Chains A and B, each alone.
Chain A
Amino acid sequence: MTQGSSPLASPQKLRNYPSYRGGEGMVAWAFHRISGIGVWAFIVLHVFDIWLIGANPALYDALGEFYSSAPGRVMETLLGAALFYHALNGMRIVVMDFWPALTIYHRGLWRAVWVTFFTFGLPGAYIILKPIWEMAA
């Protein structure tokens, strides 16, 4: 089995990352990896909690209270941001992998990821967070 998945293979030690390669490619890769791990961790929890709908509905509803509380909503906003960034940047990776000729536009694709992220993400965050101050009022 080959090891290593960094865009330019060699450095495996965390302390090497800041000095290796640099630029958008490295930021995109680091964010992609961190968001992927974060969303994965949530999904492990999330399949368990969905299983509770059948196994223990009362416990599921108690967890649901947390999901709709203020701290719960802040966490969901962060989860949504991680998922949305990962999905958009993932499509950027797939597009360049499947149509390598488009790699020359990587800078434009990278910009498109962030424009899309904020265009849909900010209203989305507003919708998720709004009940916090509506409940308070």
Chain B
Amino acid sequence: MSAQKYSISGRPRPTGSRVDLYVWWAVRISSLALFVLALAHFSMTHFVFDPGIQSAEWVRQTRWNSITLRVLDWGMLMAVLVHGFLGMRTVMQDYVPSRIRQASLIGLYAIALLLFVLGTQVVVTLPMD
């Protein structure tokens, strides 16, 4: 069993708390999606197309003139909200003093909610040709 709980550089699989165990799984599952989506996204925006041409109008006419690409980008947003914010939860639990930890975590989740709203709004409402 001890080999199961140990990895050379990752957080060991939590055994004390059910919530922490779910978080541990959610971070790992979402990381598989991000490996493909985030690296493909960075390659598209920096190697295939130069940042110099990607104006708001260009995004509207080319990149987001496709339902598929909009859905993929929205899916990437969902994956990063799960992964990045649960990852930051772990980081904050390590460093934020317990007195203000709960309030800080609520602030963290509020930012996640805000990004969910803003990201979803622009993906859904930006006009298509």
Binding site for B on A (CB under 8 A): 1-7, 9, 12, 24-26, 28-29, 32-33, 36-37, 39-40, 43-44, 47-48, 50-55, 57-58, 60-61, 64, 67-68, 72-73, 76, 80, 83-84, 87, 89-94, 96-98, 100-101, 103, 106, 110, 124, 127-128, 131
Contact = CB atoms under 8 A, between A and B. Distances in A.
Given A39-B84, A53-B60, A94-B32, A7 B8 contact: yes
Nearest to B21: A2
Nearest to A39: B84
A83 B46 CA distance: 13
Nearest to B53: A68
Interface of B: 3-4, 6-14, 16-17, 19-20, 28, 31-32, 34-35, 38-39, 42, 46-47, 50-52, 54-57, 59-60, 77, 80, 84-85, 87-88, 90-91, 93-95, 111, 115, 118-119, 121-122, 125-126
